[in-house]
Amino acid sequence: MSNQINIKNKKAKFEYEFLEKFTTGIVLTGTEIKSIRAGKASIVEGYCFINKGELFIKNMYIAEYEQGSYNNHEPRRDRKLLLNRNEIDKLVKKKKDVGLTIIPLSLFISGKGYAKLDIALAKGKKIHDKRHDLKAKDAKRSMDRAMKS
């Protein structure tokens, strides 16, 4: 299987500060994996939540499969994420802190052909933190330009 599919959440790095990262599996139905392999998915608006001791992702978009007939899936349904019990318990304990959230970082196909999702326990950045990141990025670009010429 090729693992060239790598759908990223580019806004996450700018909006959040990552505290811990995890790699999870996803429970998919029917034609969802075919749409992911075609690259027709988005995790930008998605977020994770814990319900009855299980981890779910909400608002992740997987386009309907073009060749799917009446068996097609819902594009924005809640999908269960697969983590060890210890990791879920760790997330539950840390999520009790105010201001922490669980966000998806990237969606990819593993070497065995399974869909995997990288998630992170994150804290939202303040406006001045975002400005600082933009200044650092701009300074790095100007240094790279100066070194090049």
List, in order of start, the domains of the chain with CATH numbers.
6-148 (2.40.280.10)
Segment 14-31 shows an average pLDDT of: 89
Residue 1 has pLDDT above 70, yes or no: no
pTM, two decimal places: 0.77
Of 89 and 67, the structure prediction assigns the larger pLDDT to: 89
Residue 83 has pLDDT above 80, yes or no: yes
Query: Coil, helix or strand for 141?
Result: helix
Residue 86 has pLDDT above 80, yes or no: yes
Query: What is the separation of C-alpha 83 from the centre of its chain, rounded to a whole number of angstroms?
Result: 14
Within 8 A by CB and 6+ apart from 23, the residues are: 116, 117, 118, 119
Pairing of strands 100-109, 6-8: antiparallel
Instruction: Read off the pLDDT of residues 94-133 as tens digits, 9 standing for 90 and up.
Output: 888 777 889 999 999 988 989 999 999 988 888 777 788 8
Mean pLDDT of the chain, nearest integer? 86
